[in-house]
Amino acid sequence: MQAASRAVTGRAAALLAAGIHALWTLYYASNGRSAGTVGPVAVGCNGSVVERYPRFRERTQRVLDELTALSGAPPAAVVLEVAQESAIFGAAVSVCCLKGAGKRE
């Protein structure tokens, strides 16, 4: 049972890392920059699994480090940070991203 649990959580960590890496890569590519030219980026994450499941965040970080290295990025190019009580921050970012946010027409 423990082996099955490790396999499932390992796959979940790899999928999370792959999604973060894909967004990171697309963001810089859309701005005409390559992985080797960008500075470190902190990614805020939250949720019970990331915050409380033993070594889940560390496993995700390890896979993310491997993916960013394969992209030519320097070590620790993307760092996962736990963002406590981040729901309100997500709402604020969403509002700021709205087209024309803050502009009067």
φ, ψ of residue 100 in degrees (nearest 5): 80, 15
b/e map of 12-45 (b: 16 or more CB within 10 Å)? ebbebbeebbeebbeebeeeeeebeebeeeeeeb
Tens digits of residue pLDDT in 83-96: 776 666 666 766 77
DSSP string, 12-76: HHHHHHHHHHHHHHHHHHHTT--GGG---EEEEE-SHHHHHSTTHHHHHHHHHHHHHHHTTPPTT
Q: Is there a contact between 83 and 45 (Cβ–Cβ < 8 Å)?
A: yes
Tens digits of residue pLDDT in 15-42: 999 999 999 888 888 888 887 787 788 8
What is the average pLDDT score of the chain? Answer: 82
Task: Give the confidence band of 64 by pLDDT, cuts at 50, 70, 90.
Answer: very high
- Give the per-residue pLDDT at 105: 44
